[in-house]
Structure 1
Amino acid sequence: MTIETPSLNMAEASISLGHLKHNIREIKQCVGTGVRIMGIVKANAYGHNMQKVAETLEAEGISDFGVANIHEAIELKTGGALKKPANILSFSSPIIQQIEYYLHHQIDMTLCDANIMKAASAIAEKHNKKIGVHLKVDTGMGRLGLPPLQALELLRETERQPGLELKGVYTHFAESANDDFTRRQFKEFKTMTDAYETASGKTLCKHAASSGTLLNNPEMRLDMVRPGILLYGYKPYPALPSSITVRPVMQFEAKVIFIKTVAKDATISYNRTWKAARPVKIATISAGYADGYHRALSNHATVFINGKSFQQVGTVTMDQFMVDLGTESDVKIGDRAILFGWEGPCLEELAGSIGSISYELLCSVSSRVKRVFTDD
């Protein structure tokens, strides 16, 4: 007896590698030649599967990749997706115990601490090797990195460390909009890097622009850009002007597993947060907050079934949630329910309805949701 595996998947995330290819080509056309593109594949490629995404990006000519930490970097390096030499930058500032892993796996390190700088150089020199580093400048994000003047001193000291190879310098914008604060950040970063390059006579690989700023600020693209959410089909926020058109790479769907008619005044789910105004059909959908369909979406979301929109009702539970089918409906058990994606609700609108962002909802789709890859 043969059992078809897809029938076991109560919730699936369809990943369109065709849409991903379209998006990277649009980004390439936007930034033009002479600007490197770092594909951001941290957080399992925003929930899309880091190995598949990296493999696709490599086939499209990308050889620079950004990850959150050394664990993700090793996973990417050893996962088998990359067939060619690649530059993998870990955005996290390492602790001393991790430095050997950067050296062994040839991962580029984010540098923003003098003690780590000295320790990394000493460890690399002991093995007669070098660790590639990108120095992080804090121009206003307030997360990692040193302020420009201190960063300039660390940059000069880094160049004198025999165990380190200075491969770049970067900053991170706190706003995606082309506002005064972003322009101030960029000016401070450029002033700092210009001072170093003028005094040293050397040219650095400089990068600052992520998805938002690469779209509308050509002067901020510098030597390399770092698209993240744009790769996966969304702008950092919906109102941001864009010269390119990107397509959602993920579609999240589940199945209708039960239908019943409830009486007027019947309540649905935990805490009885929804009451039927009339007799209606209620469908139970095979996904819940353990799959990444946020509990905060309770009574705020719509789903698409057979091309029609239906209101989600009641509290989203761990494994299931319910929708109001109305009094008349052709929906039947086994039908696909599109939670978001190209056939269903807009992810940006869904996220906005609960005060969230597309990034969070994509990353929330859990590991128990099967990823199904297509070239469409």
Structure 2
Amino acid sequence: MTTSDAIRSTVADVDLDAIASNVEAIRARAKADVIAVVKADAYGHGAEAVTETCFEAGVVMVAVATVEEGLALRDAGINGPVLVLLGPTDSSEVGHAVALDLLLVTWDVERARAISEAATALRRNARVHFKVDTGLTRLGAPAHEAAARYRAIGSLPHIEIDGIFTHFATADDPDTTNDGVQLERFREVLRSIPDRPRLVHAAASAGVAAFGSVEGMTAVRTGLSIYGLHAAPHLENALALRPALTWRSRVHRMASVPAGTGVSYGHEYRLPRDGRIATVPVGYGDGLPRVAGKSGTVLLRGRRVPFAG
């Protein structure tokens, strides 16, 4: 017997065919190029395998949150375009990112100048995506300053602006009035830029489901929907998605207990009648939050059974 034979019965199965199918569904709905978000280890699905699958399915690039995540993909042999959504958060990251051809998000001239200087020292061009804050109020150039900053950054040596984008704040709400306002602000910025870059994007998963094809947008930037997850219940019919992850385990213990028996920490659950409690060997270390004990369910031989503590 080898260690490879001792496989635990609790596993997460990732269906890469489902991920490829979801990419196609997103592209068909948006009628635009797809930027697949694979941050946080592809939302726990495994960044390397998911990234390879997404490129095979025809995405134009993948996106991560941090430079560190981008470097990990390069170390894994991923050579396709990788966009870093937060951009460099420390000066020490800039040179490494440029050297390995990561695309960096930027919105202010000082950060862009650091990227330009690193690219000049390395005698290569650095590609960036310029972010406009139209109302999410997190990252990006204020809309009224965006055009001037864009032109200033575009004039820096060894900088190539490959994309421009914004981020909707309420696309998962039934009322998308705010997103319409954001889109118009973004379009005002675009109208003031004579030569737009090849990728113009605003919608994430909720936006793709809510709006479909958006005039003037050449790409979408999707995370949740890549993995078969809908951004909101009222959007479930907009995209035909296939869940990509199945979490499986086996019952480890079955016990017959009388009514009133307390279960697990704090005895937060007590049996209302005589019954049986099945213990499954899954816990915090597997990513199961304690709060799931109040509302979670499992499928036991095809039957949905609630958690008991």
Determine if the TM-score, normalized by the shorter chain, exceeds 0.5.
Answer: yes
Partner of 2:135: 140
The match for 1:109 among 104, 107, 131 is: 104
Q: Alpha carbons of 1:126 and 1:299: their partners in 2 closer, same or farther (altered >3 Å)?
A: closer
Q: For 2:210 and 2:171, how far apart are their aligned partners in 1? A: 10
Tell me which protein shows more helix as a share of its residues. 2
Deviations 1:331-365 (A, max 9, x none): xxxxxxxxxxxxxxxxxxxxxxxxxxxxxxxxxxx
* Preserved CA contact (<8 Å) 1:213 1:220: no
The match for 1:195 among 186, 192, 197 is 192
1:50-65 correspondence to structure 2 within 5 Å: 50-65=47-62
Match of 2:158 in 1: 163
Q: 1:188 to 1:307 in 2, by over 3 A?
A: same
Q: Following TM superposition, by how much is the alpha carbon of 1:115 offset from its aligned partner in structure 2, in angstroms?
A: 1.6
CA gap of 1:241–1:49, structure 2 versus 1, over 3 A, is: closer
Please state if 1:67 is matched with 2:69.
no
Number of the residue aligned with 1:150 = 145
Query: Which sits farther off after the overlay, 293-302 or 249-258?
Result: 293-302
The residue aligned with 1:252 is 247
- SS of residue paired to 1:166: strand
Q: Which of 212, 217, 221 is the equivalent residue of 2:206?
A: 212
Pick aligned residue for 1:281 from 238, 261, 276: 276
Instruction: Give ranges in structure 2 of 5+ residues lacking alignment.
Output: none
1:339-350 map, 5 Å: none
The Cα offsets for residues 19-54 of structure 1, whole Å up to 9 and x where unpaired, read as: 11221222222233xx22111111111111111111
Deviation per CA, 1:246-289: give whole Å up to 9, x if none. 11000112221111112232211111112223332111111012
Larger deviation, residues 210-219 vs 61-70:
210-219
- Aligned-partner SS, 1:86: coil
* Aligned counterparts of 2:187 and 2:21: Cα–Cα separation in 1: 32
Cα distance in structure 2, aligned partners of 1:220 and 1:10 = 49
- Relative to structure 1, the CA distance from residue 279 to residue 215 in structure 2 (aligned partners, 3 Å threshold; closer, same or farther) is closer
Runs of 4+ in 1 over 4 A off after TM superposition: none
Could you tell me which residue of structure 2 aligns to residue 26 of structure 1?
25
Say yes or no: does 1:223 pair with 2:223: no
Pair 256,153 (structure 1): closer, same or farther in 2 beyond 3 Å: same
TM-score for both structures, normalised by structure 2 = 0.92
Shift of residue 216, structure 1, vs aligned partner: 3.7
Q: Quote the offset at 1:241 in angstroms.
A: 5.7
Aligned CA distance change for structure 1 residues 257 and 151 (closer, same or farther; 3 Å)? same
What TM-score, normalized to structure 1? 0.76
CA distance in 2, matches of 1:219, 1:20: 23
| Amino acid in the other structure paired with 1:186 | L
Partner of 1:340: none
2:44 pairs, out of 44, 47, 60, with: 47
**Mapped contact 1:214–1:221 kept (Cα < 8 A):** no
Alpha carbons of structure 1 residues 271 and 216: separation in structure 2 relative to 1, 3 Å:
closer
Aligned pairs, number: 304
Where do 5+ consecutive residues of structure 1 fail to align? Answer: 315-376
Q: Distance in 2 between matches of 1:76 and 1:3?
A: 27
Deviations 1:197-225 (A, max 9, x none): 2xxxx222311111122234222571111
1:56 shift after superposition? 1.0
**3-state DSSP of counterpart to 2:133:** coil
Quick check: 2:258–2:274 contact (8 Å CA) kept in 1? yes
- Tell me the residue number matched to 2:83: 89
Percent of aligned positions that are identical: 26
Distance 2:104 2:119 in 1: 12
Q: Residue 79 of structure 1 aligns with which residue?
A: 76
